[in-house]
């Protein structure tokens, strides 16, 4: 079957971009310096607008929406409640806002949408028999408390000088390390997500915890953090990497924000989001959409191509789907022949 282009859909109402998914050019070998430079500093690229926007959100949050570090030396209900309410509001605005514009107001119709199948509203797979309500429940009732707990522990550790081990007395070295960790944040997220996700696909963890996330076949923004709380504990543990290397709480907060916010665009169900007339932003969800569709591919992301290195990459094309089906058939056949 040929690739589907523009708004051509197959008989099941599915669409996918004509171009195959390609990993970020930092991974090219031999290196491609010009392409890498454009990817790093171009618009839209790695730095602008998405990551710089989230860095801005983290700095603003730290400066204006977080209690003084000195007051967080001991756990007290009031400051943990401040973090909880602020996270609850942020996540509701982002996830709810995207759901509202894409699926309720339908601001870009079905343009660049992967499937026109609606979210199930009468299915025993979901709490309240409704996917969106189920997803909101798991996000607001479980994800927000878990991410808030990680954030509170982070500040408590910093306030008591239990972390921040690397000793950079020189302020230039300190701020260089600060910026380096900001650039590194998305890579840390990508590698940690891949590792945790592969773990969650082992038999016991999948059956008891991760299958809940995979109830979402038609994904939307609220699907992103719709997980079992055990999966939330694994997923948000990405901040532990910053406990080991960060000198400033903003580095850790940025790592938390990436984990908390990226699942909304990453599951939005559209290749690109139209943010204003004539301007589309890549949502980055086509890569992960393949994982919800086929389960045994694309465990990570395209920033660090661990899926390519470990042979689980699906580039979104018909040829990749055919190849993956062939692989599965061969594996089932050899399992059946095994004594
Ligand atoms: Zn999975
Ligand atoms: Zn997912």
What are the pLDDT digits (tens) for 45-83?
Answer: 899 888 999 999 999 999 999 999 999 999 999 999 999
How far does the centroid of ligand 1 lie from the alpha carbon of residue 238, in Å? Answer: 17
Question: Is residue 37 predicted with pLDDT exceeding 90?
Answer: yes
Average pLDDT over the chain, rounded to whole?
93
Structure tokens given for 301: 């992301």
Residue with tokens 């996917």: 131
Q: Report the separation in Å between the CA atom of 299 and the middle of ligand 1, taken as the mean of its atom positions.
A: 6
Q: How far is the CA of 168 from the centre of ligand 1 (A)?
A: 40
Sequence spans of domains, the chain: 25-337
- CA dist., res. 252 & res. 11, Å (int): 46
What's the whole-number mean pLDDT along residues 250-256? 98
pLDDT of amino acid 2: 39
Closest ligand by atom to 135 CA? 2
pLDDT tens sequence across 109-126: 999 999 999 999 999 999
Split at pLDDT 50, 70, 90, the class of 134 is very high
42 C-alpha to center of ligand 1: Å? 32
Distance 202 CA to ligand 1 centre (A): 10
Provide the percentage of residues in the chain whose pLDDT is more than 90.
Answer: 77
pTM: 0.94
Q: How far is the CA of 210 from the centre of ligand 1 (A)?
A: 7
Closest ligand to C-alpha of residue 216 is 2
Q: Ligand 2 mean position to 213 CA, how many Å?
A: 6
Instruction: Report residue 332's pLDDT band, with 50, 70 and 90 as the boundaries.
Output: confident
Q: What is the DSSP letter of 101?
A: I
- Give the ligand with the smallest distance to the CA of 197: 1
CA distance 37 to 26: 9
How remote is the CA of residue 228 from the centroid of ligand 1, in Å? 12
Average pLDDT over every residue of 252-264: 98
Which pLDDT score, from 0 to 100, does residue 292 have? 95
Q: What angle is formed at CA 285 by the lines to CA 279 and CA 286, rounded to 5 degrees?
A: 100
| Structure tokens that stand for 327 in this block | 């692989």
The whole-number pLDDT of residue 6 equals 54
Q: Can you read off the two tokens belonging to residue 271? A: 């290749």
Residues 154-184, buried b or exposed e (16+ Cβ, 10 A)?
bbbbbbeeebbeeeeeeeeeeeebeeebbeb
């Amino acid at each position: 079957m040929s690739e589907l282009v523009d708004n051509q859909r197959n008989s099941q109402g599915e669409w996918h971009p004509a171009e195959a998914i390609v990993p970020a050019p930092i991974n090219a070998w031999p290196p491609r310096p010009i392409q890498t430079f454009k990817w790093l500093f171009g618009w839209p690229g790695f730095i602008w607008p998405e990551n710089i926007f989230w860095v801005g959100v983290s700095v603003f949050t730290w400066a204006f929406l977080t209690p003084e570090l000195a007051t967080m030396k001991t756990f007290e209900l009031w400051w943990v409640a401040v973090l909880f309410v602020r996270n609850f509001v942020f996540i509701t605005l982002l996830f709810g806002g995207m759901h509202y514009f894409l699926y309720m107001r339908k601001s870009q119709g079905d343009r660049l949408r992967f499937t026109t199948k609606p979210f199930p509203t009468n299915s025993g797979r979901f709490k309240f028999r409704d996917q969106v309500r189920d997803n909101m429940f798991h996000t607001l009732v479980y994800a927000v408390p878990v991410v808030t707990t990680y954030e509170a522990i982070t500040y408590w550790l910093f306030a008591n000088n239990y972390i921040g081990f690397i000793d950079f007395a020189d302020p230039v070295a300190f701020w260089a390390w600060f910026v380096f960790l900001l650039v590194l944040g998305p890579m840390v997220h990508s590698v940690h997500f891949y590792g945790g996700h592969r773990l969650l696909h082992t038999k016991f963890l999948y059956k008891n915890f991760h299958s809940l996330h995979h109830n979402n076949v038609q994904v939307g923004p609220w699907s992103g953090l719709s997980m079992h709380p055990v999966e939330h504990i694994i997923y948000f543990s990405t901040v532990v990497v910053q406990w080991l290397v960060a000198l400033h709480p903003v580095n850790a907060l940025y790592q938390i924000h990436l984990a908390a916010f990226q699942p909304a665009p990453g599951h939005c169900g559209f290749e690109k989001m139209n943010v204003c007339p004539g301007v589309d932003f890549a949502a980055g969800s086509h890569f992960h959409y393949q994982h919800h569709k086929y389960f045994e591919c694309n465990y990570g992301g395209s920033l660090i191509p661990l899926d390519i290195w470990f042979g689980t990459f699906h580039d979104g094309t018909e040829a990749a789907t055919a190849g993956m089906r062939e692989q599965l058939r061969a594996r089932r056949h050899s399992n059946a022949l095994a004594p």
